[in-house]
Amino acid sequence: MDSSKDGKAEMLFLPWILARGHMIPVIDTARVFAAHGAKVTIITTPGYAQLFQKSIERDQSLLGHHDISFHTFKLPTAEVGLPEGCENLLSTALDRDMSEKLFSAISKLEKPIEQLLRERRPDCLVSDMFYPWTADVCAQLGIPRIVFHVTGLFPLCCEESVRRYAPHEKVNYDTETFALPGLPDDNIKFNKLKLPYWFKTKGTGWGQLLDIFLEAELKSYGIIINSFYDLEPTYAEHYKNEMGRKLWLVGPVYLFNKAAEEKADRGEKNSIDGGTVLSWLDTKKPNSVIYVSFGSQVRMAPKQFLEIAHGLEASGCPFIWVARDLSKSNEEDKEKREGGEGENGDKMLPDGFEERMTKSGHGLIVRSWAPQLLILEHVAVGGFMTHCGWNSTIEGIGAGIPMITWPLAAEQFFIESLVTDVLKTGIRVENEEWVSLHWEPKVTVTREKVEKAVKWLIGGDGGDQVVEMRRRAREMAEKAKKAMDYGGSSDAAVIALINELKSRQSVCE
């Protein structure tokens, strides 16, 4: 290891640049480690470096001058037939052919990144799971590879249960329920419809890729998770003892963003000014607004948008709805989009819906990126309808907001179970079927289900059950903040890892 670091632990962070949901928590985590005295370098593309540059410059200028910077590699998009600037899945509109070309482009960075590791010889590489080749490179160079998972412990433990015991193979039909064996809780039940397809169809490309990720993980030094001990205590012990992984829980890292400007600008330029949103919320009563957002990658069928709109309007509850699919990037559909139509001319909103919501002040529709942290923290927001992506879930937990869960893809049905069955801080909207982001979207939740869930959580139908749910949510939010505060469990985990890396320096010199 390089002995010219003035006693600092040098950490390189390699986030998965194709997905914003992978980038944002890694950037926050890197900033946390730099704030604790590590020398941090984030490996990314020039476009992403520019997007997050303001936050990094702010950290560099703080008292103590955090030692954090970017090392950029230009993604060779032209070599694989992609236009300039197309460097994440959002810019491909999830087109399968373009996505495969992006994967090809990123594979061309293997040699340059390997050369950087050989030159720098850092004390560790914190790598997203999507770079399994770094496990062998780090092993050859004697560099600890630490995997950064952009999900929680509970879904990881659920996935391991399905892999080990294959309980879905012991049922006779798709809707028959089965328990997930070997978990600390014995009430975690699923059916085949809610499982990702790669568990049910052997030999799929994605399933084989996940096996490669897992093999690389088992070769690695340990795992960093954006979670905190009090959120998943039994699963932390299960993960370490039963699954045999070295583990550091360092979150919720989004809480590192303290200033309103940091919260407003985090991850992307907003399509609506944060002040406008907060002013609108200031006119609403406490716990009276439902915030609806399905993340940065989810696609929905036009008719599903209609069902959501009808359900929200019928609920009678104020709402903020981040309706990203209303703003497709394809210019040739501009006129249709402005008329509230989908790519095929399908109506995405009821006639006059947006005008009625705007005039009455009943609803606020955001067509792209929203200042989610500011929204969730506002006293008027009483619930979060979410796709159960981990970033959104941990932000909702940290804000103390009960959730209406609407999982769609990836590990989201497992995360739904954490919220509804373990934490008991949310209710299901009753989406019953897992769907890949690359499949043709379809209607899976009716307007009646949307209306019922919103009325139950926000409109008063849930009565004392909602009061108790809010109490549990607030209690968990306090635990999240304590974990990140000085002396908290996540704070201690960050310090412990830095000290462990520093102790290795003297051994390796």
Residues recognised as catalytic? 22, 128
Instruction: Please state the φ and ψ torsions of residue 73, each to the nearest 5 degrees.
Output: -125, 130
Are 381 and 403 within 8 A, CB to CB? no
The residue among 297, 301, 304 whose CA lies nearest residue 344 is 301
Q: Which residues contact 62 (CB under 8 A, 6 or more apart)?
A: none
Q: Is the peptide bond before 15 cis (omega within 30 degrees of 0)?
A: no
Provide the residue type at 436 as one letter.
S
Q: Could you give the CA distance from residue 131 to residue 171 in angstroms, rounded to a whole number?
A: 35
The residue among 312, 273, 248, 156 whose CA lies nearest residue 497 is 248
Q: Could you give the CA distance from residue 475 to residue 481 in angstroms, rounded to a whole number?
A: 10
Q: Could you give the CA distance from residue 199 to residue 193 in angstroms, rounded to a whole number?
A: 11
CA 393 to chain centre: 8
Q: What is the DSSP string of 89-114?
A: GGGGTT-HHHHHHHHHHHHTTHHHHH
Q: What is the DSSP string of 255-286?
A: GG--SHHHHHHTTS--SS-HHHHHHHHHTS-T
Q: Could you give the CA distance from residue 104 to residue 81 in angstroms, rounded to a whole number?
A: 10
Q: Could you give the CA distance from residue 211 to residue 205 in angstroms, rounded to a whole number?
A: 10
Q: At which residue do the structure tokens 């390699």 appear?
A: 14
Q: Could you give the CA distance from residue 29 to residue 13 in angstroms, rounded to a whole number?
A: 9
Q: Which residues contact 325 (CB under 8 A, 6 or more apart)?
A: 299, 300, 305, 342, 348
The residue among 236, 244, 218 whose CA lies nearest residue 135 is 218
Are 374 and 274 within 8 A, CB to CB? yes
Return the ∠ at Cα 11 (arms to 7 and 14), rounded to 5°. Answer: 170
Sign of CA dihedral 316, 321, 323, 326: positive
Among the residues of 316-420, which ranges form H helices? 334-338, 353-360, 372-377, 390-399, 412-417
Q: Cα–Cα distances in Å, from 482 out to 74, 84, 230, 450?
A: 39, 44, 10, 34
Q: Could you give the CA distance from residue 287 to residue 233 in angstroms, rounded to a whole number?
A: 29
